[in-house]
């Protein structure tokens, strides 16, 4: 086989065989196909697309490039969730202990944040002492003992995706539906869960802003998962404003704790219950959505979800007192209000702008080598639909020594205030199952 012929075939809109795709990825990872040829192939794929069979072949080739996480020593159905990336999305911090409290096995491998979206691992590391690197035996043993473990993705899981993603990032080929689907699903499949709930975000703060395209992505990922013998459900959810009020790291942990106590923001609580319902059903622990939801609500109200959170944090070396006293989490020295320029209703909060503000403060990264500051971030005071007076705080910027002015400006620009109240859109736009 020849890289040139494979590029030409895709450039001309022909279908590639699984063997051709597999060979191409294998040789790329082995360093036998140079970046410039892979870049040309990515652009051909971007323009011509991949059909379902080609996307499955690409996903499988990516999985084969690295090691699979072996969860076979964990009894029962292992459940996982994945969000395509959002601002203020701390659902894993709530769902992991909530599902474990309800009897599911949550063995989760998570990523760090990049750009305007935060990562679960960065958030967890803001808990004093919390270790996100566990050896494979320790990981499996903790899930068997506690019901939940969340670790950082290592270099050995799907190395081909890492290489390919870096190239997509600089060749304007990130936002291709089959490339996104193969990238996400290769990591989910390699991480071994039997049941996966996908949270596909749509709206201003999402990777895929248009709901129709989000549905197409959801459909494709569900099909890839099913083809690999996994149980998969996707929810298409709104990311037209940040989720909850807190955007950052320690502040998101504090908000997740409130949610586990049953007093979290409505949108965050609702999304956790919707995603959790599907996770519980896929795990075979509930026969219908109403029963699953009632069970999860009970865990939130009676303290079992919070107790599981403490047990989980302690098992990974973290200080479980964060659940009783969020004051022990890192705190930013400055809290600067961003005031409303006029009276009216909040009709839009550009999630991308708020995410960007958190990033310039140091809560996220511009480059993957950057360190994050756990203490800084943004806390919203008004969400879409809130009526505000002129001069009333819309949000607070939690800053240390950098980026405060720029962040304040970004947050102010993210808000749109109008004379009439907005139409509130549903949080869950659609569910894709089959």
With CA atoms as reference, report the closest residue to 247 among 113, 341, 426: 113
How near is the Cβ of 181 to ligand URA at its closest, in Å?
Answer: 8
Which of 163, 168, 188, 365 is labelled catalytic? 168
7 touches ligand URA (CB under 6 A):
no
Q: Measured on CA atoms in the order 24, 29, 35, 41, is the torsion positive or negative? A: positive
Q: Which residue has the tokens 């450039």?
A: 11
Contact 188, 196 (CB under 8 A): yes
Contact string (CB under 6 A) for ligand URA, positions 319-358, x = contact: ----------------------------------------
Q: Which residue has the tokens 């944090």?
A: 313
46 touches ligand URA (CB under 6 A):
no
User: Which tokens belong to 164?
Assistant: 């390919």
d(CA 192, CA 78): 8
List beta partners, residue 117.
114
- Concatenating the DSSP letter of every residue in 380-399 gives ES--TT-EE-TT-EEEEEEE
How near is the Cβ of 187 to ligand URA at its closest, in Å?
Answer: 6
158 touches ligand URA (CB under 6 A):
no
Contact string (CB under 6 A) for ligand URA, positions 77-116, x = contact: -------xx-------------------------------
184 touches ligand URA (CB under 6 A):
yes
180 touches ligand URA (CB under 6 A):
yes
If the CB atoms of residues 174 and 307 are measured against ligand URA, the closer one turns out to be 174
183 touches ligand URA (CB under 6 A):
yes
Contact 57, 22 (CB under 8 A): yes
User: Which tokens belong to 348?
Assistant: 């839009």
- Concatenating the DSSP letter of every residue in 319-362 gives -GGGGT-GGGS---SEEEEEE-SSSEEEEEE-HHHHHHHHHHHT
Q: Which stretch binds ligand URA (CB under 6 A): 34-42, 95-103, 179-187, 318-326?
A: 179-187
Cα 41 from chain centre: 28
How near is the Cβ of 52 to ligand URA at its closest, in Å?
Answer: 17
If the CB atoms of residues 198 and 397 are measured against ligand URA, the closer one turns out to be 198
Which of 112, 162, 187, 408 is labelled catalytic? 187
User: Is 340 tagged catalytic?
Assistant: no
User: Is 201 tagged catalytic?
Assistant: no
Q: Which stretch binds ligand URA (CB under 6 A): 22-30, 130-138, 175-183, 255-263?
A: 175-183
Residues near ligand URA (CB under 6 A) are 84-85, 179-180, 183-184, 207
């Amino acid at each position: 086989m020849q890289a040139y012929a494979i590029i030409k075939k895709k450039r001309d809109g022909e279908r590639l065989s699984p063997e051709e795709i597999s060979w191409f990825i294998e040789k790329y990872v082995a360093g036998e196909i140079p970046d410039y040829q892979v870049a040309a192939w990515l652009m051909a794929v971007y323009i011509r697309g991949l059909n379902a069979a080609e996307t499955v072949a690409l996903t499988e080739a990516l999985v084969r490039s690295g090691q699979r996480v072996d969860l076979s020593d964990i009894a029962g159905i292992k459940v996982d969730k994945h969000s395509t990336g959002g601002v203020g999305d701390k659902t894993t911090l709530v769902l992991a202990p909530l599902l474990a409290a309800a009897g599911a096995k949550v063995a989760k491998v998570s990523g760090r944040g990049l750009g305007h979206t935060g990562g679960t691992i960065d958030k967890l590391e803001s808990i004093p002492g919390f270790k996100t690197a566990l050896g494979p035996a320790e990981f499996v043993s903790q899930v068997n003992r506690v019901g939940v473990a969340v670790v950082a993705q290592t270099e050995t899981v799907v190395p081909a995706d890492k290489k390919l993603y870096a190239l997509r990032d600089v060749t304007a080929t990130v936002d291709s539906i089959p490339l996104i689907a193969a990238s996400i699903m290769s990591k989910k499949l390699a991480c071994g869960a039997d049941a996966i709930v996908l949270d596909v975000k749509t709206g201003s703060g999402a990777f895929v802003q248009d709901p129709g395209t989000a549905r197409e992505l959801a459909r494709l990922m569900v099909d890839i998962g099913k083809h690999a013998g996994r149980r998969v459900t996707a929810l298409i959810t709104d990311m037209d404003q940040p989720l909850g009020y807190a955007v950052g790291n320690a502040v998101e942990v504090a908000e997740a704790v409130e949610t586990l106590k049953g007093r979290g923001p409505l949108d965050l609580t609702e999304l956790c219950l919707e995603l959790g319902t599907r996770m519980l059903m896929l795990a075979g622990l509930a026969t219908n959505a109403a029963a699953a939801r009632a069970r999860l609500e009970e865990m939130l109200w009676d303290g079992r979800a919070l107790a599981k959170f403490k047990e989980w944090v302690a098992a990974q070396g973290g200080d479980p007192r964060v659940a009783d006293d969020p004051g022990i989490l890192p705190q930013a020295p400055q809290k600067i209000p961003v005031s409303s320029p006029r009276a009216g209703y909040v009709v839009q909060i550009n999630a991308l702008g708020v995410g960007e503000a958190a990033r310039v403060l140091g809560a996220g990264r511009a480059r993957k080598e950057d360190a994050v500051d756990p203490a800084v971030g943004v806390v919203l005071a008004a969400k879409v639909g809130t009526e505000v007076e002129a001069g009333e705080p819309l949000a607070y910027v939690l800053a240390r020594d950098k980026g405060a002015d720029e962040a304040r400006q970004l947050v102010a620009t993210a808000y749109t205030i109008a004379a009439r109240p907005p139409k509130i859109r549903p949080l869950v736009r659609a569910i894709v199952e089959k």
